[in-house]
Amino acid sequence: MYILLFFFSIGSFAGTEDSGEIKLLRQHTEIDRDIRDILRFLNIDYVIVDFTGTGLEGKSYRIMVSEIWFGEITNTATIFNSAGIPAPHLQKIQSDTFQIRVVSELTGENSLRIHFNFPGLTLEQEYDAIQSDDYSLRHAYTKPETPIHPGESFFFLIYMLPYEQDGVKHYCSIETSGGNVLSWGKEFGIEHYLVFEMIFDE
């Protein structure tokens, strides 16, 4: 009887651990070919960020940004906190899946305009930029699934210029370098980029 109870307690503990999991997913965004052609012509980026896990439900969330010019962080700010939304039903996530759709572009005024589309609301932000069609909005993670821990911030999007070498522009080699995202400017000589972080709160 003692042995049976011992194994039952271990199984119960494992179930408790799994019940709070959150995963950040990297999936290929399916876009109709005609729409994809139009977005490319207009130099508009469209990225979908998906989360799944039983630990999502009941969490509020915050988004922070770091602006990096010539390798130096010139500004950091919290741009969104769902806990401060006047509508109570939007303050916390209501299910075990959560999606953010992000649309961005370089405007004629040399600014990066970004729309974050959350369930039930949209946030628009603008940031100074250089005149370049090379800005690219990209995932800040490379694995198909990345575990996320509530209360700990994580990088999830980067709006960046490429690293140039011998006349070739590189994005992927930077993403897979394994270095600190915030040090890419110094390491690769990137003139300007934005790093977006997120955190899930109890």
The DSSP bridge pattern shows strands 72-81 and 97-106 to be unpaired
Cα–Cα distance between 35 and 183 in angstroms, integer? Answer: 35
Q: What is the mean pLDDT of residues 86-109?
A: 94
Assess whether pLDDT exceeds 50 at residue 74.
yes
pLDDT at 19: 57
Closest Cα to residue 201, out of 149, 141, 123? 149
**Range 121-124 contact pairs with CB under 8 angstroms and sequence separation of 24 or more:** 121/85, 121/90, 123/63, 123/79, 123/80
Contacts of 164 (CB under 8 A, 6+ apart): 170
Assess whether pLDDT exceeds 50 at residue 22.
yes
Q: What is the mean pLDDT of residues 9-34?
A: 66
pLDDT at 117: 97
